[in-house]
């Protein structure tokens, strides 16, 4: 469950849905690798401001629901998770490295999407639109009128 992260100058709830495919889309996520991956993610939580809310593995890719702080870009979160999980999986499950011909663990690409705690994009857009009174959009040559 996500929670508000309180820092000295901000309070945030930043969540991301990340999907990482295994290199060559190889089916490498069995029960043992899944368990090790989850353990590694718990260790990452202790060292970094990254909280794993959910982890879902399929045979050839993993879905993560993570929460982090604004000081970490999505790129930094992805790099941190990919590098540490790859190194540790190869160390703890050497058979996976053989399945990947001694190469890389993760594919170069990934999917990332923001996730809202309080609703979907349409609901939040309606809420933001309603703040500060009504407004209407005038012709393109006129200013936005707030009243």
Question: Which residue segment(s) compose the domain that 141 sits in?
Answer: 5-146
Residues 58-97 have pLDDT tens digits of 999 999 999 999 999 999 999 999 999 999 999 999 999 9
Indicate if the pLDDT at residue 137 is higher than 60.
Answer: no
Task: State how many domains the chain has.
Answer: 1
The H or E element that residue 114 is part of is: strand 111-115
Indicate if the pLDDT at residue 8 is higher than 90.
Answer: no
The CATH code of the domain that includes 82 is 3.30.70.1290
Hey, which residues does 135 pair with through a beta bridge?
146
């Amino acid at each position: 469950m996500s929670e508000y992260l309180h820092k000295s100058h901000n309070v945030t709830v930043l969540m991301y849905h990340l999907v990482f495919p295994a290199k060559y889309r190889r089916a490498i996520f069995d029960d043992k690798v899944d368990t090790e991956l989850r353990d590694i993610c718990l260790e990452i939580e202790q060292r970094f401001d990254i909280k794993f809310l959910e982890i879902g593995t399929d045979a050839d890719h993993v879905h993560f629901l993570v929460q982090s702080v604004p000081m970490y870009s999505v790129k930094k979160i992805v790099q941190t998770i990919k590098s540490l999980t790859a190194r540790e999986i190869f160390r703890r499950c050497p058979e996976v490295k053989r399945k990947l011909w001694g190469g890389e663990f993760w594919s170069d690409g990934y999917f990332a999407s923001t996730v809202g705690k309080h609703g979907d994009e349409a609901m939040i857009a309606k809420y933001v639109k309603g703040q500060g009174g009504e407004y209407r959009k005038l012709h393109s040559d006129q200013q936005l009128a707030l009243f």
